[in-house]
Amino acid sequence: MPSKKLQTAIHPREAVIHPFDQLHGTDTSGLIAGDIIARGTGVPVEELTAYYGIAPSILHRLLDHWLQRTAPLAPISRTVFLDVGAGKGRAMLLASQYPFLRIEGVELNATLAGVAHNNIALWQNDITSEALAPIALHHADATKHTLPPEATLAFLFHPFELPILRRFLRHVETSLAHNPRPFDLLYANAEHGSLLDRHPAFTRLWIGSVAMTPDDHLADLAAIAQQKEYGSTGDELCAIYRFTGRGA
């Protein structure tokens, strides 16, 4: 069972509640430092990043870019959305408003995974959620967890640093070598986009700044104001990649 100290860190009493959570009764708000997330995982803290839920408007706009600008290789109805480093699950909930085959998430921290499970249950019983796709969350290591066997759209909101990102990309490449299928990757806050840009098996399809709506930016500023080491510009550098194999 997680310690009370860890529970308090992940559910801080003073956290600003995002409008998304106010509307749906979920718990996806707050900024949780990487050293807190690392507790109990066995992963060095320097390989992890902070948890912060993606702004709804950014994910919606990024998904629209993927649908409209990249000519997906499989219909969305036959594609799995995979949230890598799912945290409290906000991206999974938002993605379920699109007609994906299903939504899956992988989260390493047991406490965050528990919060995500609770959020999924609330969402599935919320008549205002407008969910179109089923959701499943896995408490697992994304560099080892079995990837969906169907066409996949992976989503990363800068969940980890280079060592884990390299291991995850090797895992993807191994999986696709055994079972070739379409695999695209959305990378928000693309801090290590240069690794994917240089990767011989991935091709960048699009890169650009994705802006939040004014309401999301105000919520972002309110939340970030409590964390002096962070700031908000009202947008995120995002990129879209496609697995094309080393022979491309």
Give the CA dihedral 33, 61, 221, 113, nearest 10 degrees. Answer: -30
* Distance of alpha carbon 30 from the chain centroid: 15
**Cβ 46 vs Cβ 73: under 8 Å:** no
**Cβ 101 vs Cβ 133: under 8 Å:** yes
Q: Locate tokens 């930016």: which residue?
A: 217
Domain locations along the chain:
4-243
The CA distances from residue 209 to 167, 186, 189, in Å, are 26, 13, 9
Per residue of the chain (248 residues), give pLDDT as tens.
444 444 445 555 556 899 999 999 999 998 898 999 999 899 999 999 999 999 999 999 999 999 999 999 999 999 999 999 999 999 999 999 999 999 999 999 999 999 999 999 999 999 999 999 999 999 999 999 999 999 999 999 999 999 999 999 999 999 999 999 999 999 999 999 999 999 999 999 999 999 999 999 998 888 776 665 566 788 999 999 999 999 75
User: Of all helices (H) and strands (E), which one includes residue 52?
Assistant: strand 51-52
Q: Residue 223's pLDDT is what? A: 79
**Strand 235-243 relative to strand 183-188, pairing:** antiparallel
Q: Residue 37's pLDDT is what? A: 94
CATH 3.30.365.10 for domain 4-243 = no
The CA distances from residue 39 to 7, 44, 110, 241, in Å, are 11, 9, 10, 31
**Cβ 14 vs Cβ 22: under 8 Å:** no
Dump the DSSP string for 106-124: EES-HHHHHHHHHHHHHHH
Q: Residue 224's pLDDT is what? A: 74
